[in-house]
Amino acid sequence: MNAKKLAGEKAVEFIKDGMIVGLGTGSTVHWSILKLGELVKQSLTIKGVPTSKQTEQLAKELGIPLVNMSSIEQIDITIDGADEANPEFELIKGGGGALLREKMVASISKRMIVVMDETKYVAHLGKFPLPVEITQFGWEMTSKQVSTLGCEPKLRVENNLSFITDNGNYILDCHFGEILDAKRLNEELNMIPGVVENGLFVNIADTMVIGNSDGHVEIIHK
């Protein structure tokens, strides 16, 4: 039983005709977007706001109409995944490298629905390294300053090259261990010059849709 597919498709039931929908990035929300593509072909009328070039490409291939963020003031619902989520509705995101755009889209959404499989739902955040998006300029200095908050930052590398986000930045993957005060850490990270944004989503998500390997889907509302 594909728990990610179950969660991704279930979340689409929250979407109604005429909505502006934030389209997340990742392996679980991928199923949501595929389902939305089917429904658009069957006459569902929505406009999508993609959170990455990858999602934008997929939505175009499926015929989902897209709208530019600059032409809207609010998004009705955003569906996105998480690398970790706890019972306080705090998330770690950014494993796919789209955390800045994901947070921008979620921040102007009336509602954010998080889709995931049961392995991502945890008692405490921090086993998954926290992604922090930083400028390329002076990145070594930024990394040193981030480390003073109690982690070991590692520059993300892909195919032996520094990973570069859709915004032209680097990502530090930071091992903090157990994160007990996500709100405070979020603020402290974003105060460091050179940090563009971090993958802690606090007071943003409203609903979690969790797919289980036994075929059961759990929906938790804040």
Q: Which residues are catalytic?
A: 102
The C-alpha torsion from 124 through 155 and 195 to 152, rounded to 10°, is 50
- Does 211 appear as a known binding residue? no
> Rounded to an integer, what distance in angstroms lies between the CA atom of residue 18 and that of residue 1?
32
Pairing of strands 130-134, 195-198: antiparallel
Does 80 count as an annotated binding residue? yes
Q: How far apart are CA 90 and CA 147, in angstroms?
A: 22
Is residue 97 part of an annotated ligand binding site? no
199 is in an annotated binding site: no
Three-state secondary-structure class, residue 118: helix
Q: What are phi and psi of 56, to 5 degrees?
A: -60, -45
Q: How far apart are the first and last CA of the chain?
A: 27
Residue 27, annotated as binding a ligand: yes
DSSP state of 129: P
Q: Is 177 annotated as a binding residue?
A: no
Alpha-carbon distance of 179 to 130, in angstroms, equals 10
- Is 222 annotated to bind a ligand? Reply is no
51 has binding-site annotation: no
Residue 82 marked in a binding site: yes
Binding residues for substrate: 25-28, 80-83, 93-96, 120
Binding residues: 25-28, 80-83, 93-96, 120
